[in-house]
């Protein structure tokens, strides 16, 4: 997600290759792509309650040891080796040594186990709804870890997908025509959520982060991987505690962020036009602005009848504002880390990206 989804990039190439599973049924693919028995019985739908993890004990042990020995401010000084696959505002995505086929999303957000399990339950429900709406999501599992004197951490574990198949990579390696076709497919996937919301209204409403880095090509379909922020409403009531986002923000600024833009940022993901505006704005960040006019045509053809078409000026303005907000936010988080680790000699729980190219 974007409060959540602005500063992700991959730092390492994955060697797995989805194409070798083509021709198999989706379910075969799910079971072949990882050596780990995941908690799934159909396309990415979790079964069972929060404690029904089906990760093998030895794998659970590796994640536990990783968390125990993790040094968030100096990853190289951690006991178990790992690579960062991507950064989020509330999660860091790791490939942990010994668990080479999965991506482990670490969320050190919770004051107690109950809060972590509530989140875990919401996560499962959200994934189930994404699948029901017609999206394809990776095979997955979860693990909650408690360590004395530290926040309770939730790990969301997904099949690791090939970095070269992520949409933000493909738009650079494929022709512009193919890139447009990829984005058209993604727009159609995004619309499935709003069709589903119409069907389920007023009982249920799902939000989605449509950014290019959240979609991975698998044959002729796209897998949605950014499932770790379960934003959805039941009978109009938000299920995600917004304060969880603020946990990763500098403590001295939480009131300001809450007051200035928290609600606004959360609401954005419930609005199809905003999600598509964010998607097209992404082309600036991904350094492909030449695709914007063609993508705007695709998007405007797919907006709700009542929505105003989006023009290039609006995209530029939106992108500039967002870039500023998130650059400021990251700078403040770095300052907060410095205060905590250098001045107060405390542990800083979050892992911040280095310089971001935008
Ligand atoms: N299953 C996966 N396989 C390979 N790489 C992944 C996988 N999941 C995530 N990544 C990498 O990590 C990046 C961030 O992941 P993701 O979108 O799930 O988190 P996020 O946007 O940070 O969400 P949030 O802040 O809500 O946790 C991706 O863009 C990708 O580069
Ligand atoms: Mg993302």
C-alpha 311 to ligand 2 mean position (Å): 25
Of 261, 18, 298, the residue nearest 138 (C-alpha):
18
Task: State the pLDDT at residue 55.
Answer: 64
The DSSP code for 125 is H
* 164 pLDDT more than 90: yes
Is the separation of the CB atoms in 224 and 130 below 8 Å?
A: yes
For residue 131, give both structure tokens: 């699948």
Angle at 165 between CA 7 and CA 142, to 5 degrees: 65
List 5's β-bridge partners, or say none: 2
Sole residue written with tokens 């907006």? 303
Q: How many CA atoms lie within 13 A of 81 on its CB side?
A: 3
Q: Whole-angstrom Cα distance, residue 183 to residue 153? A: 34
* 327 pLDDT more than 90: no
C-alpha 353 to ligand 1 mean position (Å): 13
Pocket test for ligand 1, best of 3, 4, 5, 8 (most atoms within 8 A of CB): 8
Whether residue 202 has a cis bond before it, omega within 30° of 0: yes
pLDDT band at 10 (very low <50, low <70, confident <90, very high): very low
C-alpha 345 to ligand 2 mean position (Å): 31
Is the separation of the CB atoms in 151 and 111 below 8 Å?
A: yes
pLDDT band at 251 (very low <50, low <70, confident <90, very high): confident
DSSP H or E run through 281: helix 272-285
Task: State the pLDDT at residue 331.
Answer: 86
Tell me: the pLDDT tens digits for 293-316? 999 999 999 999 899 999 999 999
Q: Whole-angstrom Cα distance, residue 29 to residue 27? A: 5
Q: Domain spans of the chain? A: 22-159, 163-343
Ligand 1 contact, 4 CB (< 6 A): yes
Q: Whole-angstrom Cα distance, residue 45 to residue 28? A: 14
Which of the two residues, 142 and 19, has the higher pLDDT score? 142
Minimum-distance ligand 1 atom for the alpha carbon of 226: 18
């Amino acid at each position: 997600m974007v409060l959540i989804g602005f500063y992700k990039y991959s730092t390492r190439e994955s060697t797995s290759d989805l194409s070798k599973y083509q021709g198999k049924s989706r379910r075969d693919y799910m079971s072949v792509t990882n050596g780990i028995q995941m908690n799934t019985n159909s396309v990415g739908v979790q079964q069972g309650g929060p404690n029904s993890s089906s990760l093998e004990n030895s794998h659970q042990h590796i994640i536990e040891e990783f968390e125990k020995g993790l040094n968030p401010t100096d990853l190289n000084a951690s006991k178990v080796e790992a690579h960062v696959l991507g950064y989020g505002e509330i999660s860091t995505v790791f490939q942990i040594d010994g668990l080479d086929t999965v991506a482990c999303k670490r969320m050190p957000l919770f004051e107690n186990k109950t809060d972590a399990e509530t989140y875990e339950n919401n996560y499962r429900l959200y994934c189930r709804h994404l699948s029901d709406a017609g999206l394809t999501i990776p095979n997955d599992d979860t693990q909650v870890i408690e360590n004395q004197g530290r926040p309770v951490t939730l790990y969301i574990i997904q099949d690791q997908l090939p970095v070269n198949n992520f949409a933000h990579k493909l738009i650079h390696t494929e022709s512009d025509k193919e890139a447009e076709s990829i984005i058209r497919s993604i727009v159609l996937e995004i619309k499935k959520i709003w069709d589903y919301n119409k069907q389920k209204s007023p009982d249920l409403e799902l939000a989605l982060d449509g950014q290019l880095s959240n979609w991975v090509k698998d044959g002729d379909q796209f897998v949605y991987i950014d499932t770790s922020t379960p934003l959805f409403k039941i009978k109009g009531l938000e299920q995600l505690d917004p304060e969880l986002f603020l946990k990763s923000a500098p403590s001295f600024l939480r009131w300001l962020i809450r007051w200035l833009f928290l609600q606004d940022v959360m609401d954005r993901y419930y609005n199809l036009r905003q999600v598509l505006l964010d998607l097209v704005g992404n082309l600036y960040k991904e350094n492909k602005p030449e695709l914007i006019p063609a993508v705007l045509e695709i998007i405007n053809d797919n907006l709700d009848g009542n929505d105003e078409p989006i023009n290039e000026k609006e995209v530029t303005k939106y992108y500039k504002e967002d870039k500023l907000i998130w650059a400021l936010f990251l700078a403040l988080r770095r300052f907060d880390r410095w205060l905590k680790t250098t001045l107060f000699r405390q542990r800083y729980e979050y892992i911040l990206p280095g310089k971001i190219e935008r």
